[in-house]
Chains A and B, each alone.
Chain A
Amino acid sequence: MSEKFYWEAIRDALREEMIRDPNVFLMGEDIAIYGGAYGATRGLYEEFGEERVRDTAISEAAIAGAATGAAMLGMRPVAEIMYADFLTLAMDQLVNTAAKNRYMFGGRTKVPMVLRTEGGAGRGIAAQHSQSTEAWFNHAPGIYVVMPATPYDAKGLLKTCIRDDNPILFIEHKMLYGTKGELPDEEYLIPLGSADIKRAGKDLTIIAYSRMVLVSLEAAEELAKEGIDAEVVDLRSIKPLDVDTMIRSVRKTGKVICVSEACRTNSVPSELISVIQEHAFDYLDAPIKRVCGADVPIPMSPTLEEAAVPRAEDIVQAAKQLVR
């Protein structure tokens, strides 16, 4: 075991897969010479060269489209979109082409690509560089969405995604790159559609993903001081969704909070709540709560930015109302 940064875990996963499979290559803005905006591809250009670590033009559509094409022709590209906010420019390639081609070509092609990106607020870089856009892709059939919260999860999941034959959106969080975690030295994989109980508890269930997992754990600590024992479920995969783990927890506690940094309306929690009431209505002791970002563009002012997304105390408040 060794302690690594989240960005290192990403980098190691990429490196290991590139060694393992010569078809894996990287493309994106500033990923080669610069080593990635957050350091996730640092050193890879030096190790693998410009054919396999490619700096692209500033064109998200081109990045996504080229990756799609390369994947259809037998490569396993890991393309990067520097900010999840810019996925909008790549939407058509991702949603209409990458996501649909396997189906529309009757299975005669496949699109084994990973699209890495990062999102989230916390760096004060305002509305067009701080969004959480996963809900848009959760809604598009054919493309999958993975959002690891820890270095351990990031590495295990990224390797799995690269080996998977489907187009997968791998969304990192800009504020997580600097977090640390213990990683095994030997190889390990985490399957898709596998949630993780980050903290077992019996009084209520908090379902979260990405950075909100850490915020939820912080809230759980606070709640524990007042004798409220919260279970924190880290989804890890948004799609495919580990319904079983989620429902098992709901059935155990009967009280649920779904957390997301994204805007509240039509967020992933909206979908989770629908699924929960479908599978566990009779087990609910109270209506399900959503703790989400406000339906606003992320402000630039640090104070406002902080207030626009869920904080630990928001989760603590919601939990207290639930168990009152």
Chain B
Amino acid sequence: MATPVIVPELGETMNEATIVRWLKNEGDIVKKGDALLEIQTDKAVLEVESFASGTLLKILAQAGETLPVLQVIAFIGEPGEKLPEVPKAPPPPAAPSRSVPEMPATAAEAPVPQAAPAPPVQRRFTISPRAKMLAKERGIDPTKIAATGPDGRVIERDVVAYLERKGYDSLLISPTARRLAADLNIDVLDLKGTGPAGKIVKADVLRAEREKPRPLSQTRKIIASKMVKSAREIPYFLVTLSVDMTELAALRERLNKERTQRISYNDFIVKACAFALRSFPIVNAVCLGESYRVNESIHIGVAVDIEDGLIAPVIRDADRKSLDQIAGESAQLVEKAKNKKLRPDEFQGATFTISNMGMLGVESFTAIIPPDQAAILAVGSVTDSVVVHDGKPVVRKIMKITLSSDHRILDGATSARFLNEVKRKLEDPTWAG
């Protein structure tokens, strides 16, 4: 009996994956553990390994195809073996039934990363070749035309009637623009003319082409749905503090002189937060609607800006790691993140997240709380500022930090206290020296 190769489920919220490329061909002998193909899921490209040895008998899905998790995509077995029928993949489930109770989804909720429930059955748009040719020649979108042909087909007279209704013949358009619109499949009736007397010219067509909606990439779709979920479900509030980083700056410089793996400001902030989370476990928690969970371990996500979005690799057990360990790990993780090489376990499971835009000259900002956490810290740049010390103006290195908190389980006082603890740890970094 041939062994099926399936799209692996690599995360609770993973519903589908796209095949990037097959690493083996039909007919190849494979061993258990061999990498069979690369798939793209969430924001990373992963290898899928074989759980059987034998011949790769048949590949059922090709590079570029997106399939739901658990879908059979190939078979491994002995040559000549009869292969079972593989039913067509059902659309990934609307409700995240595989999700652990901590995410009680409401009935209409679209799960992450699935975009929308299966659309209603639509009639196929049909058009006669002649009508299609006419529409293309005129540079208009035939799907907007009312059909009177048999079986709801758009036929020539429908296109003619539509053109008349829309006053097509009195449309001012240059021949170049018309041809270009036809080539680019842009409906000339949608265009605003900027030429003399409102004439549609080539530039208008080119502008329309540039403004054409483009689909969101897989990465962006996932980010978008997480953000929407957070915005929709988490009532948040902000607490901002200024931190005097002067002492820490000096310490950092001193420490880095003796090191090849440099320690960044963010590494200190990770450690400081880890301490504070130990003292305020409620900030290391997550609200689950009618319940909440306080996480035992402290895993801190560090937001990284990548090519088509952002990702937050996780420094696990940050409270039990030294500053050097944190520095080394975060450098590695950032590198991997930028190369899309993070494994799911490397970007999942954070209990608290830090987003640092200090290197971009940002004074302060608001971060959006990841849907599986209770708070997120937004860190601004370290800037020489004039502050008052003992009644006198002095220049100190000041950094603004802003905590976004889930008001369902965190109140202003708690968040303020937590943030003050972070500030204390950063302003008095003896623990690091």
Contacts and interface: CB of A to CB of B under 8 A. Distances in A.
Contacts of B423: none
Contacts of A285: 128-131, 155-156
A284 B131 CA distance: 8
A281 B129 CA distance: 7
B149 interface: yes
The A interface is mostly helix, strand or loop, or mixed, namely: loop
B175 to A, nearest CB: 21
Interface string A222-258: 0000000000000000000000000000000010000
Contacts of B156: 254, 285
Interface residues of B, number: 10
A283 B155 contact: no
A282 interface: yes
Contacts of B149: 286
Contacts of B155: 285-286
B150 interface: yes
Contacts of A108: none
A140 B14 CA distance: 64
A289 to B, nearest CB: 12
A283 B150 contact: no
A324 interface: yes
B159 to A, nearest CB: 10
Interface string A280-296: 01111110000000000
Interface in A266-324: 281-286, 324
A284 B130 contact: yes
B386 interface: no
Contacts of A254: 128, 130, 156
B395 interface: no
A324 B157 CA distance: 11
B44 to A, nearest CB: 46
B129 A282 contact: yes
Contacts of B150: 286, 324
Interface string B116-152: 0000000000001111110000000000000001100
Contacts of B130: 254, 282-285
A187 B377 CA distance: 103
A24 to B, nearest CB: 48
Contacts of A283: 129-130, 133
Q: B128, B130, B150, B156 — which one has the most chain A CB atoms within 10 A of its CB?
A: B130
10 contacts: A282-B129, A283-B133, A285-B128, A285-B130, A285-B131, A285-B156, A286-B128, A286-B149, A286-B150, A286-B155
Q: Lowest 4 A-B CB distances belong to which pairs?
A: A285-B130, A254-B130, A282-B133, A285-B128
